[in-house]
Structure 1
Amino acid sequence: MPGKESPGRHRAPRAGRKRRDRGHCFGLYALVIGVGGALSNRDWRGRGRSFGLYALVIGLGGTLPSGIVVLLLWTSIQGSPWEGRMTLPLPVRPPLMPKEAPPPSTEEPSPQKDEVPPTRPTPRRNPGHTVDAHSIIQAEDGVAQSGVTFRYTSDTGGGQHATRIGDGDQLRFDRVDFGAKSKRVLRARVASGAPRGVSGMVRVRLDSPTAKPVGDFSIDRTGGWQAWRTVPANLTSIGGVHTVYLTFESDHPADFVNLNWIRFDKR
């Protein structure tokens, strides 16, 4: 009969169907917007995707209350697309400035693995034989020393050199044969990295460390403890076999010279 519905069929209220249809349309429209934003704008990729999913969930839910519930759940898991827009930026720490390198040290380097212990090295010459004064006499060939240590050298010829030489130190060379008496010139291979203003004297004595010097020469900076230079010094007439002492004097307590070798030539 007119006005009565069949008992086997139940039709949803017209208002509910309209809301559901609008929800579907809104969800699809928002999904298209979200996908388009994700593909076209990198900055809006996450927000567009999230917004499209929210709207699709609302549309498929069919009703506004169920969509809101799902939206809240999704937001709690995925995070809001506007999250972080209301937060204040963190302060930027200024970059750390590199520390200034300390000025280069002018002191002799501290002992390293290549430094010979401060004991007398075994002389390479036979103590029972004389030493030719006109040949190169290595610093480590001395038979006695006071206040001097030895380490391997970077100078031409290699070997060792006497280092850490300062005021009051000395080296002794036995049985140095000068031959016939004549005037001599001493040539000494030296290096100095002493601080500016620090200098000293090297005096040559025969047969006693307190004997009158037969010659001397001064030592100034050469540019570094391995910056080697040959320094000449005129001597008085010398002949025969003698014990040669090199004594070192300075007005400063700091070490002032390294010595690699000496040689006595005729003038």
Structure 2
Amino acid sequence: MKKKSLGQNFLINTTIIQKLVDSLDIKDEDYLVEIGGGAGAITKELLMHNNKFKQLDVIEIDREYSKELTKISSKVENCRIICDDFLITNYPPVEYKVIGAIPYYISSPIIHKILESKLRPSKVILCVQKEFGEKMIQNAPKASYWSHITLGYKISKIMDIKAENFDPAPEVDSIAVVMELDEKTNLDLVNIGFFRWSKFLHHVYRNPRKMLNKVFEKNFLIDAGISSSLRPQNLTTENVLGLYQVLNS
């Protein structure tokens, strides 16, 4: 039973699901977290690798789906079904990977939850609304808040996913992306702090069409090596990071 109030559109194409799970690159001793097990399509594919991963936690907010997921995984000892809201769930105290075809309407809170964690996942596979996902992978000259908030990760597209591959079919297409933790830039993020970085980006992109000299003093831009005639959409992550460091030196 699909519950429209939860924004549920379940990915049903098994070939696509296999590709997403393959992209997770499951290794021996991996700790896996699935966001929103739902009807269990991705969960079932993950369980086929139970001889490789150390632990799989499937977090599902709906009680009825949680019961069904418990039945599906009943013979797999290293799988736990957690009936809870991912947004308030504590992370594993060890290195882990995340996968999920997440509801469009809470994509932003879910990704912020992942990014603000002190112990960030080493790899994240997400299926999101196409327009939203493209913002995450776009850089200058089409940069946005979402181009830079993921500082600490290398992000790339796995594939586009047509609406017909979901049940019920949403009104828009989706995209699958992979986020891989990058030690160097993640250290930059750790030194800044996620919430400070997010607040700074909101300031930068508050008026995305304004030239930067209308947002920042010219001497700061010069020190950061950035032309004052540029607009926020023209900034690379390196530009934004450099500007932050100049302003906070």
The TM-score bracket by the shorter chain reads under 0.3
Structure showing greater radius of gyration is 1
Of Structure 1 and Structure 2, the greater strand share is in: 1
Q: TM-score, normalised by structure 2?
A: 0.24
Q: TM-score, normalised by structure 1?
A: 0.23
Of Structure 1 and Structure 2, the greater helix share is in: 2
